[in-house]
Each structure stands twice: as C-alpha cells, then as structure tokens.
C-alpha cells in the first residue's frame, strides 16, 4: 500500500513558521514527509541525505536543523530525527499505535536514552491503550474484580493527566529545576547518554540555571526546562569536544609545568657556570698565571 503523510494547512499561518526562510520551510516539510518517516516520528536520517534530497549543502542543512531545534520542533542526535510533537498531533488507531511501539522497540538504546520525557510519556500511554505489555499477576494473588480494575485505571489516568498538566504549566525557575532534578530516571538517562557522573551533571545544571537567570528567563515549565537543558547540554559538550585544548587534563598541565621548571633550572645553572668561569679567568689573568692572549 502506498505510504502517505499529511500536513495541516494551518502550518502556513503559524507564527513560528512565517519567519522561516524558504530553505528552512522546505527542510521542515521534508522531515515530515520523507520516505524514512514512520508512525513514531523518530527515524534514522543523515545530514548528507537531507542535503541530497533537498538539493542544498550540508552546511545549510545543519544551520536549518539548528533553527528547528531552537524552535523545539525536532531533535537530531546519533543520525536520528526526533519530531517532538509527532505523537500528540497525529491521531492513531490501535494498529497504528502498535506499529509506533514496534518502531520504538527497534530504536538503538542511545537514541531511546535521548528522548524527551514527553515522548516517553506518550509511549507509555500507548502501551496502556493497546495493552502492551500485559502486566504479570502472581499465580497465588487474588484476581482484582472488574470494578476494582476500573477504579484503579481511572485513578492512574487522573494522576497521569494532573502530572502532565503541571509539567506543562510555567512556574518559577527554582521550582522547575527542583522537579526536574527530582526525576531520577531523567537524570540517569542524561548521565548515561552523555557519559557524565551525577556531580558533573549537577554542575552543568547550575550553569544552565545561571544562564537563564542572566537572560531574565525566570519562568519555565518542567517539560520546557528538561528539553531546553538537554539541547543546551548537547551543544556545550559538542563545543567542548571540538576544542579540547581549553579543557586540558590537570595531570597533563602539571607535567608541562614541571617540565618547564626543569628547563628554567638548567638555563639558570648554565648562566651561573658561565659567569663563574669568566670570573675565574679574569682572576688568573690578574695574577699572571694565565697570560694575556694577543688580539689578532
């Protein structure tokens, strides 16, 4: 069956879409409709392929991708495109949800670790809606009655809705930071994805908060805080990897300083020996032991 992708006509009137350049608009529509797209909205794609299909250079593609990331429309990581709002803006029947879950299970671990919390929440909701996976019930435990199951399910749905709403409401930066740091799974995913220890991650979080405060950005929702920080952290680490000389290992620095000190000592010793020899020669000449050497 022919695969089709549909785009709402409302996009042409969106406030964020109008200021984009023609190339940025083309690449955004391409990311929504290219042959690699799937039900999940997360798929493998390279910058080179985008440039080839859109007839533009890799440099321009990277600039357009960065612009779309700043608008929080996509994340590109490990040669995978993550369309952040795909699952919330596309209605799906049960078979389409199963297809999306299959695509999710086939993602590389490093890509799954980089997914925003909102995407992971949508995946979990789809699993609940489709009954995948079926929860295990111990053989000797009493089976819950249908009324009890329905009541429990309603409570879980209500709690999930409340949590999602709260995470999308702007609140003071300190509170958004506290709730984000309190999410252990999010912190562990960041540490694993970027090979950071928890202390180092907390240092980056503090730098990020200072940056927001300096910019006058004192209100953020929890979801916005997490996604903004994840993108900012990735950019900072990429810059650090491109310029390793500005982040030298302290052990290497100490070795260089020790080497320089030894060279300075040798130079000073050579100067002292040379001066002592010159003075001794003058003394020998003065006592007549060493005859004067006629000038030629």
Considering the entire predicted model, what is its pTM? 0.46
Across the chain, where does the E strand assignment appear?
A: 42-44, 74-77, 80-83, 171-172, 219-220
Residues 172, 99 within the same domain: no
Parallel/antiparallel/unpaired status of strands 219-220 and 42-44: unpaired
Residues 173, 266 within the same domain: yes
**Domain residues for 78?**
8-110
pLDDT of residue 158: 55
Q: How many Cβ atoms sit within 10 Å of the Cβ of residue 166?
A: 13
Per-residue pLDDT tens digits for 90-140: 888 888 888 889 999 899 988 988 888 888 888 888 888 777 653 333 344
Helices (H), 131-197: 146-167, 173-181, 184-194
SS3 90: coil
Looking at the 3D structure of the chain, how many domains does it have? 2
Per-residue pLDDT at 160 exceeds 60: no
Q: Is the peptide bond before 133 cis (omega within 30 degrees of 0)?
A: yes
Give domain status of residue 119, yes or no: no
> Looking at residue 82, which CATH number applies to its domain?
1.10.10.10
Burial class (CB in 10 A: 0-12, 13-18, 19+), 115: buried
Give domain status of residue 255, yes or no: yes
Residues 12, 94 within the same domain: yes
Look at residues 87, 110, 133 and tell me which one is the last residue of a structural domain: 110
Q: What would the two tokens of residue 18 be?
A: 């109008």
pLDDT band at 152 (very low <50, low <70, confident <90, very high): low
Per-residue pLDDT tens digits for 51-99: 999 999 999 999 999 999 999 999 999 999 999 988 888 888 888 888 8
- Percentage of the chain beyond pLDDT 70 is 81
């Amino acid at each position: 069956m022919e695969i089709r992708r549909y785009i709402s006509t409302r996009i042409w009137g969106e406030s964020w879409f109008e200021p984009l350049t023609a190339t940025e608009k083309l690449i955004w529509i391409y990311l929504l409709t290219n042959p690699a797209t799937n039900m999940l909205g997360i798929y493998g794609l390279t910058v080179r392929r985008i440039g080839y299909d859109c007839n533009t250079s890799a440099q321009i593609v990277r600039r357009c991708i960065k612009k779309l990331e700043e608008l929080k429309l996509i994340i590109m990581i490990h040669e995978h495109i993550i369309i952040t709002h795909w699952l919330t803006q596309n209605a799906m029947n049960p078979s389409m949800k199963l297809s999306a879950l299959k695509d999710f299970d086939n993602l590389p671990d490093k890509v799954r670790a980089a997914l925003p919390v909102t995407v992971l929440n949508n995946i979990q909701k789809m699993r609940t809606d489709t009954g995948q996976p079926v929860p295990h019930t111990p053989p000797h435990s009493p089976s819950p009655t249908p009324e009890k199951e329905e009541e429990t399910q309603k409570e879980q749905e209500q709690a999930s809705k409340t949590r999602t709403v709260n995470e999308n409401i702007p609140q003071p930066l300190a509170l958004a930071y506290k709730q984000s740091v309190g999410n252990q799974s999010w912190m562990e995913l960041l540490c694993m994805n970027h090979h950071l220890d928890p202390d180092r991650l907390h240092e980056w979080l503090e730098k990020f908060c200072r940056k927001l405060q300096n910019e006058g950005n004192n209100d953020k929702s929890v979801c916005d805080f997490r996604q903004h920080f994840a993108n900012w952290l990735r950019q900072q680490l990429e810059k650090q990897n491109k310029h390793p000389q500005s982040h030298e290992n302290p052990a290497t620095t100490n070795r260089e300083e020790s080497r320089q000190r030894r060279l300075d000592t040798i130079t000073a010793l050579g100067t002292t020996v040379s001066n002592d020899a010159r003075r001794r020669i003058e003394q020998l000449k003065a006592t007549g032991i060493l005859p004067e050497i006629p000038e030629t």
